[in-house]
Amino acid sequence: MSKTILAVDDYPETLEFLQSLLTKFGYEVTGVGTGEEALDLLVVKKFDLVLLDLMLPRVDGFEVCRRIKADPTTQNIPVIAITAYDVPDIISRCMAAGANDVVLKPFDVQKLLAVVKKYLPA
């Protein structure tokens, strides 16, 4: 059974890139464009990992991450924050919200894959 990843990003191009890349490596990837969709989907489907953009409309990635980590049914799912928001305290802000790791955009494909494999070993 392949590992499942929920990718959350409001840019369809980013979702397509993540789905295309990670599917090639045997992961089953579901993409959604809002934090609300992600939270709704996590109630009805189990995922092994969440790739979460921070700058989402309405409910931002920080809040989505806090809600994932506050819910006993989802708190153990690794959350990798993905963001182009490269400011000095971004990693500490992500960790404070509960993220397990952070990957900056534009993606370095090898770094992205290494982080995913860290949390989803074969």
Residue 31: CB atoms within 10 A of its CB come to: 19
- The pLDDT assigned to 88 comes to 83
Residue 79's pLDDT band (cuts 50, 70, 90): very high
24-78 per-position pLDDT tens digit:
999 999 999 999 999 999 999 999 999 999 999 999 999 999 999 999 999 999 9
- The pLDDT assigned to 43 comes to 95
Give the predicted TM-score (pTM) of the model. Answer: 0.96
83-120 per-position pLDDT tens digit:
988 788 999 999 999 999 999 999 899 999 999 999 99
Burial label for 35, CB within 10 Å (0-12, 13-18, 19+), is buried
Ordered by start, the domain boundaries in the chain are: 4-119
Superfamily grouping for domain 4-119: Response regulator (3.40.50.2300)
Asked if residues 54 and 62 have their Cβ atoms less than 8 Å apart, the reply is: yes
DSSP code, position 107:
P
- The pLDDT assigned to 65 comes to 98
